[in-house]
Chains A and B, each alone.
Chain A
Amino acid sequence: LKISDLQQSELGRLLQAGDLLLHLRPFVARLQCDVPSVVRNIAGMYADFEILAPTEFADFHVQVLFEPGLRRWYKPQARFYFDGQPSFTPLPAQQGFAMIEWGLNWCVAAHAHQYLVIHAAVIEKNGQAVVLPAPPGSGKSTLCAGLVHSGWRLLSDELGLYDMQTGLMHGMARPVNLKNASIDVIRGFAPGAVFTPPVPDTTKGTVALMRPPASSVQRRAEPARPAWVVLPQYRRGSTATLQAHSPARTFHLIAEQSFNYDIQGVRGFEAVSRLIDQCRCYQFTYSDLHEARACFEALAAGTADG
């Protein structure tokens, strides 16, 4: 059964009761939420995801609930709960869906230590994955959103799950988090893309989430072998350029951008060493998604220079 198979009223009932088990693969999240806008956003963004019976095992028990008392009515706020415990500060209720997304990211980053959890977008074509690690503001999500509307499969916009035993990348193919000007950039580049209504005044500015392509969601249990690590950097007015990048510097960035590298100890060092050994490393500067698409086509075809 998929989310899209449910009437919104039924979806709302399951969410209200805490009986919605979202099969993210490789995880299951049990969601409870009493914020109405979240029901619409889950229906829109997770349409192609399966749900499980409420009696099944869930890895993460997540709630986003209105704050009690006057705050329920005056500038209503909601709070994220993990395993029944309040986590993080309350935020305006209109940010409820973003809270679920950010909270789920935290759940995975803080608990899924069977993987090296890398702050990276991961996309795949012809069985080969590109890992795009980058600090915020680099244009990673914009590039990722553009490329998954250009024939690349989405594994992840935010969390790359590197299996340290197999050397394969996993992703959950969850919605892509876009901010500020990127929202309109993707609307223009991919008119068929589906978004949540933009939410202004978050800590990240105006935020909208983009629905992952159905084909990526259907294949989300399928890992991919990393072939490239590309460090993206949006630079206004620049021509799209792929340049070979120092593997050692790339290692250092991956370690910095991994949520649990330190926890893994020597296993983390060996995992990143293996990842870099598997890949060719590039720095990618861009300002135009059409040019970016051409560069990545060349990368996949093995004709990229740099």
Chain B
Amino acid sequence: LIDANCGKRYRHRTVDVFWTDASPEAVRVKQWDGDPLSIVYQPLSGDTHLLDPLPVELLRLVGAQPQTLAQLAAELADALCALDTADALDLLENSLVKLQEMGLVQRRSS
């Protein structure tokens, strides 16, 4: 997944950072058949969010166990195959940062 060029960017920014869920109580996710959007409720803050499929999948993955960006990229390789590696990593990291701003995930040093 990682070419030489973007591998540098990747190593530079995320190699030793794990992403994990931000609440001791699992977030609640509500989905409906045929609707790509999801509703996510964060019990710690009481906030409700309308999310696209990618961030919801990221929440599911980091909720199962802490993951690095590389691990997440590997898990989502099929879904991200249309993007080159740098763009895929940018997309994942941007999504994670937005989720972090929403209080749904957090960074944890290895």
**Residues in chain A within 8 A of chain B (CB atoms):** 246-249, 251-252, 255, 261-262, 265-266, 269, 273, 276
Contacts and interface: CB of A to CB of B under 8 A. Distances in A.
B48 interface: yes
B37 interface: yes
Interface of B: 28, 30-32, 35, 37-39, 41, 43, 46, 48, 50
A262 B46 contact: yes
A255 B50 CA distance: 11
A276 B39 CA distance: 11
A160 B30 CA distance: 23
Given A252-B50, A255-B48, A266 B41 contact: yes
A248 B46 CA distance: 17
- The secondary-structure label for the interface of chain B is strand
A201 to B, nearest CB: 38
28 contacts: A246-B35, A246-B37, A247-B35, A248-B30, A248-B31, A248-B32, A248-B35, A248-B37, A248-B38, A248-B39, A248-B50, A249-B50, A251-B50, A252-B39, A252-B48, A255-B48, A261-B48, A265-B43, A265-B46, A266-B28, A266-B41, A266-B43, A269-B28, A269-B30, A273-B30, A273-B39, A276-B30, A276-B32
Contacts of B31: 248
A232 B65 CA distance: 43
Contacts of B48: 252, 255, 261, 269
Contacts of A269: 28, 30, 39, 41, 48
A276 B38 CA distance: 13
A4 B50 CA distance: 48
A247 B43 CA distance: 21
Contact of B30 (A251, A261, A262, A265): A251
A269 to B, nearest CB: 4
Nearest to A256: B48
A265 B28 CA distance: 12
Nearest to B37: A248
B41 A247 contact: no
Nearest 7 pairs of A and B residues by beta carbon: A248-B37, A247-B32, A269-B41, A252-B50, A251-B39, A273-B30, A246-B35
A276 B30 CA distance: 10
Given A266-B28, A273-B30, A276-B32, A249 B46 contact: no
Given A248-B35, A251-B30, A265-B43, 7 more contacts: A246-B35, A246-B37, A248-B30, A248-B37, A248-B50, A266-B43, A269-B39
Contacts of A251: 30, 39, 50
B28 to A, nearest CB: 6
Contacts of B35: 246-248
Contacts of B30: 248, 251, 269, 273, 276
Contacts of B41: 266, 269
Contacts of B38: 248
A261 B108 CA distance: 32
A273 B40 CA distance: 11
Contacts of A246: 35, 37
B79 to A, nearest CB: 19
Contacts of B43: 265-266
Contacts of A247: 32, 35
Contacts of A276: 30, 32
Which of A249, A251, A265, A266: most chain B Cβ within 10 A? A251
Given A266-B43, A269-B48, A249 B28 contact: no
Contacts of A265: 43, 46
